[in-house]
Chains A and B, each alone.
Chain A
Amino acid sequence: MSKTQTKPGTKRSTLPRIRAWFASRGWKPHAFQEEAWALFAQGHSGLILVPTGSGKTYAAYLGALAELGETAPSARGLRILYISPLRALSRDIESALRSPIEDLGLPLTIESRTGDTTSTVKGRQRTSLPSVLVTTPESLSLLLTHADAAQKFSGLQAVIVDEWHELLSSKRGSQVELALARLRHFAPRLRTWGLSATIANADDAARALVGTGSNPSIVRAPVDRPVHVDSLLPGSLKRFPWAGHMGLAMLDEVLAFLDPSIPTLLFTNTRSQAEKWFHAISMRRPDWEGRVALHHGSIDRDERERVEAGVKSGSIGIVVCTSSLDLGVDFAPVERVVQVGSPKGVARLMQRAGRARHRPGEPCAVTCVPTNALELLEIAAVRSAIDARAVEPRDPVRQPLDVLAQHMVTVALGGGFNADALFAEVRTAWSFRDLTRESFDWTLLLVTKGGTTLSAYERFHKVELVDGLYRVPNKRVAQMHRLNVGTITGPSTIELRYVNGRSLGHIEDSFIGRLHEGQHFHFAGQTLRFVGVQGDVALVRPGTKQTNLTPIWGGTRLPISESLSKAVRVALERAAHAVETGVSDDLPEELAAFLPMVAAQARRSVVPAANEVLFELYASRDGYRLLGYPFEGRLVHAGLASLLSLRLGRTRPATFTSTFNDYGFELLCPSEYPFAEALTPELFTRERLAQDALESVNSAELARLQFREIARVSGLVFQGYPGARTRAAGRHLQASSGLIYDVLREFDPDHLLLAQARREVLENQFEQGRLAAALERIASSTFRIVRIDKPSPLALPLIIERLNAQTMSSETVEARLARMQAEMQAEA
């Protein structure tokens, strides 16, 4: 290919040369790629929906790159911005974007800007940005705080947002929406393209991406990779647990299946589970040392990169991993994907399956390993949902004012703003399209005066009106804000290091806080002995003893999705029908393996039919239990448990502790409660649902917990400077967000961030719409109320699992105290 054919930088599209480059790599453009290039050239924005590994990066990027050929050579500065949710991917993306530029000798520069970028590069980028920049949502917000942001972004022609489905339904997504609105203000002709895996609500996703100002195009690829789901089944259900999540009962079967000469990703659902599985495999197969590795988000970056390189080169055969490897890094050699434990969601399992033979068009496969009997149901269910392509929708977060508050300070730093103009701009972001002027002004008051009740306090004047524009005049406020941008996710963590200085990764403060000197625990696949905390580092030495202690990371448990819970109900019905009729020939093998549990349920209790809801009453030493099994997914059960606690407590004051999982819920009452009489269809009425839900949010701890995150994002609570002295301060403040919540509730009950905390609980934890539908279904079902004297297979997981237990009481503190004392005296 001749490089003199078209002179770079002349006013002609370089698309013909890019096509030639494409062909020179042995590739032929897919129809969806052609479509995307054409739409870009016509000036459209939109969303490209194709499975992972189908070439979507080039579908979005090459159209934009081609157009740079029409740019006059004098025009310098940023032209294409590529946003990726994972900074670990930026290097791979940068090299993929660089190859056409280098091969064609285009006069363009390309760089990355993430939290890992060196200070030299950051310094250079302060004066001028490259033609193509690869960055993360957080680093983009940081760039927007530069005083000359308007000038820096004025020449921007295209923004590409990778993995938009991942960002979309989180506050990081709202942050990106606001940042995009700002970029469109700087560069009105800007085109925005998003890349996404298949989702149910593509139209909303596309609108959220391009904002309210334009109509998005949607590009879909017909290249659909078939997904095969199979499973490793336990030899016998007798020793197969009814409850639990670690799944080590299946270790023998998994070891027999694994082979380090066949590159395999073994996915687990939590980091603790990954640690335990890695440890168990290493103990049983010491001969595999070096060929089995561990990868999760808390492990040191150098180690993770070593593992990723090992997979690519083939030196590492088996990686035990978590969602840290869900996205991105192209692992062409991977042949097998194993999923330990519940698949949780349809789209999620498809994404993981897609990591094997990560090549367009080839089929992908995943082998599921159930960790308890009920997960057999889920596996059968997920297969039928995948076959029906019943993937989940991803809904954008609605109007998060905490994110808006953070954005306001960002914009005030990045050149300042006029309130009317910013209000109009913010409303072009899809999540904020219904924002009222009242809420906007309230948020403005929050960042200028600290809110309505604090106007007397000077420290709060973060943003001030200077010469007609809102700006940040205080250098300390500016510095604190820049350090806090990007703390949208993640609790406070501490670095873990060997005494000799080698870093192992990061671990939650709360876990370290519970360790004492000399205690042993597993982390990053090592057994470690805790030495102590020095400054902002936790020090360890190699361990000398065996231990079972593994950190439990907070917030890592995902509920199963609505799509999957629906499929689970259908699968249960099939299994129950098979037990009833004795015909099980046409069942998938997972359901056949599940039949002994169905039989046990029938012996100890009842297996509910599709038009029935089962309630079990169980009295034991711990108290009196009501167990219910609507099979609606954990979030709905959480909402249901709170709602019932409230309604039952109204008829008769009592204290209930609730536990819930994906299949049902449990209410535990320390004193005898007449559950059987109380279980009427009226108890499940939809009337007053909104008020009752709000009231139960207020009486339970839920809103208080949610407020912690909101306080952090909005900058109400400062996360701390990187450095020793301030870590203690950060911890002290984190402990205080609960206090602040209580104080605000008492003295400033109309604070909008409190209202947001309640709304987020109602939307996220309660899934109000789903809850209403579930109530209706339950109220119109036949109730089967059964007293049991031994836990049934369905009850056992709930009784064992008290991790997420939360208490709601309608009794006075004094009454609870008197009861506890009476219990203690009775026991003594």
Chain B
Amino acid sequence: MSTAPGDVEITHGGHSFWLLPERALYWPSKGWLLVADTHWGKCQTLRDAGAPVPMGPLHSDLQRLRDVVGRVGARRVVVLGDLVHGPSAFAPGMDECISKWRPSLPCELALLPGNHDRVLMGARAVGLLERWGVELLPARLCADGLWLTHEPPNIASGAAVCGHVHPVVRLRGRGDSMRLPCYWLEGAFEALVLPAFSSLVDGATVRACPGDRMWAATGTGVFECG
């Protein structure tokens, strides 16, 4: 299996990775697909607050995850935190929707919990992750010498892949400007920050410091930008 047009291959922490346009990172030597910040149930949270958000975004995010797994042939999806958005994860419609979708995902699904996943540790969540077929991992995991965490490290402690920030890059040209979700390699901490996988969250505009690299993900391609 090799990269498709649109994918970008990089080396990080001594391993080869593919940056995918679908906002997911593939680790070919392990067959793992790393995604961050799926925020399942954000649409329900907005609905609870009175906003008329249909279920569409969740369905299309789930579909996109299944498609990208199929495209690269991943054996395992590891979510780097913020799998769910909040207590809305317990809404009956949500539970049903995920439980129905899960059997169609042809691989393992594991979660390294992030700050939003605290609700999954409470009494109401008992049995939920089992039903969804999600394996719960520790909050910090070392795989083949590479750290996987939710929040980016704030001390240099070896190469890491993480989420949490929802990085977005602002691109400017003559009389033109755009914001696009991006992969952000923080040179100082050797941390590769993934774009949020969810299509319903806003991002934080980040600026590259010397030594950083950024790649914008457009949905069909990945482009290095400054």
Contacts and interface: CB of A to CB of B under 8 A. Distances in A.
A and B: partners?
yes
Interface in A772-828: 805, 807, 809, 813-814, 816-821, 823-824
Given A715-B50, A817-B178, A739 B225 contact: no
Contacts of B175: 622-623, 655-657, 668-670, 805, 807
A746 B55 CA distance: 11
A670 B174 contact: yes
Interface in B121-154: none
A814 B53 contact: no
A451 B51 CA distance: 11
A743 B53 contact: yes
B64 to A, nearest CB: 13
A288 interface: no
Contacts, number: 115
A747 interface: yes
Interface stretch (B9-17, B26-34, B41-49, B110-118): B41-49
Interface in A700-728: 711, 715-718
A459 interface: yes
Interface in A276-304: none
A460 B51 CA distance: 9
A313 B216 CA distance: 63
B54 A453 contact: yes
A736 interface: yes
A456 B96 CA distance: 13
B171 interface: yes
Interface residues on B, range: 20 to 34
Interface in B57-104: 57, 93
Contacts of A813: 178, 180, 218-219
A43 B20 CA distance: 75
A747 B56 contact: yes
A729 interface: yes
B177 interface: yes
B54 A743 contact: yes
Given A454-B47, A457-B93, A814-B218, A809 B176 contact: yes
B53 A817 contact: no
B200 A739 contact: yes
Contact of A820 (B52, B172, B218): B172
B174 A623 contact: yes
A566 B99 CA distance: 65
Contact of A817 (B43, B52, B225): B225
B108 interface: no
Interface of B: 43, 46-54, 56-57, 93, 171-178, 180, 200, 202, 216, 218-221, 223, 225-226
Given A716-B51, A820-B173, 8 more contacts: A450-B47, A623-B174, A669-B175, A718-B49, A735-B202, A743-B43, A747-B54, A816-B176
A-B pairs with the 5 shortest C-beta distances?
A: A747-B56, A820-B173, A670-B174, A668-B175, A657-B175
Interface of A: 446, 450-451, 453-454, 456-457, 459-460, 480, 621-623, 655-657, 668-670, 711, 715-718, 729, 733, 735-737, 739-740, 743-744, 746-748, 751, 805, 807, 809, 813-814, 816-821, 823-824
12 contacts: A454-B47, A454-B52, A480-B50, A670-B173, A716-B50, A733-B50, A733-B51, A739-B46, A743-B43, A743-B57, A744-B53, A807-B175
